[in-house]
Chains A and B, each alone.
Chain A
């Protein structure tokens, strides 16, 4: 396993350890919707942890490094399970999730990739308040990304662009959203999207690497920047 994953594991464990240790109240389940994505992720985290069962045969004893990796997978799974349980009111939403959902209630987030969207949802952003723009926000911007793009392809993309624009407006209207935050990677696509969103919606633009691993604190910081201009 690479060093990056190892560090990630270590951070997770630290994070978990810093969570206050209160007794959990289990409530009766309410009606709810299964978050299938979270459910699948949970199983896959457990499958990754399952690998250690084979590598540690026959006594299943893990050394320190292995223990950290193994437990980080279990912690990931636990976090997902908690998310599913809280969707049914069986346990309370984690504090950070509640805080994020609170702070972001007037915010629309535009991002460029589905896996960023997943990370944002996992941290507590309402899925309805996210738009994934796989294309720029204006057809002419496409020429900046790919100057040689044939007109036929451009026509197809224009349709998608129109769809994204409508989506943004519809969501802002319907949910009464006042602020827009762009989170994307610092590449050409991200830059062009950011500029246009600033121009069109006065968006707060944040371009940074490794967005799918964005942490709670950083997200809160960005929400505050976007929703409390000045």
Chain B
């Protein structure tokens, strides 16, 4: 059999400034690239395994998990295949078929699917709507209390720490306290925060955190992080009666090979970069203010932004698209000419973007390019 040409090459990230928020936090550190070379083969981390992935000593996965637990301040941590698998495992361990959970109105689709796959019903905490789309602690409390009144018991609440649409950073600490007081365990979805900004699960009053290695932790996918308070270990890390070393919710072994090796290699880099998070926020705010110099471009979501992912409404570019010979493609094409990618082709009404990890000069270059395109195409 002859295989098709799969076009398996990718230079986009090495030739362009990529504004796609999905891609920014997963760019590998140099150490991770080296680890990828060493650990690319199948079960590469399993040479010295005695039956428990999390206890392998060469490479020291056990040591890495201890460090990772400290990094996010949880009692126990496991790697999983992604934030979604972490959410699924928690729901699966805590809830029963037909139970109801509470989650925020900005929750990621994978939170919905994890709940659906577990046959759970969902009650949503509405956001404040346009233009800020904020999830307020007050609304969270009101919704949770109503849910408790109606259903008697809520086995799990979920909060999206930073959502993927507006980059809104929620007040997890306050909402954590609300859930704690109500006796409902809280799962904080840190897919867009863990590895970008400091996470202290205990300080935030949360029972569980999940993170995404490929989204925000400079690791090759698929890999996620699942951290928990000690008291949940019995449920979540319960061992199989038949295969006594294996944890059931982890299906025995989770991430192995290149994903975990790259995450391990990137941890020192992550420790360093989360300490510089304030600079990233300053950079994002500076980017927003430069972009808003273009009339008809405004940032939506909380202002000033507290995250690198920012969403703009861009009626200005949309209007141009109506008359432009390349229609909606003009913006993408003009940016591409300037070696800037990551805004979807044909999208001019709004877009979200991130300059996470870029230098100030790169951010200035991007903003100047947008302005130049606005000037050129607006006339």
Contacts and interface: CB of A to CB of B under 8 A. Distances in A.
A49 to B, nearest CB: 9
Interface in A40-59: 40, 43-44, 47-48, 50-51, 53-55, 57-59
Contacts of A40: 37-38
Contacts of B358: 57
Interface in A48-100: 48, 50-51, 53-55, 57-59
A59 B339 contact: yes
Contact of A54 (B13, B34, B339, B365): B13
Given A54-B13, A57-B362, A58-B17, A47 B339 contact: no
A44 B31 CA distance: 9
A54 B37 contact: no
B30 A55 contact: no
Interface residues of B, number: 18
Q: How many A residues touch the partner, as a band?
A: 10 to 19
Secondary structure of the B contact surface, majority rule: helix
A53 B30 CA distance: 11
B17 to A, nearest CB: 5
Contact of A48 (B15, B30, B38): B30
B33 interface: yes
B16 A57 contact: yes
A43 B36 CA distance: 12
A47 B35 CA distance: 10
A57 B339 contact: yes
Contacts of B340: 58
Contact of A43 (B13, B14, B17, B37): B37
A32 B34 CA distance: 26
B339 A58 contact: yes
B244 interface: no
Given A58-B17, A58-B339, 14 more contacts: A44-B34, A44-B37, A47-B30, A47-B33, A47-B34, A47-B37, A48-B34, A50-B33, A51-B33, A53-B14, A54-B27, A55-B359, A57-B17, A57-B358
20 contacts: A43-B37, A44-B34, A47-B34, A47-B37, A50-B30, A51-B30, A51-B33, A53-B14, A54-B14, A57-B14, A57-B15, A57-B16, A57-B17, A57-B339, A58-B16, A58-B17, A58-B339, A58-B362, A58-B365, A59-B339
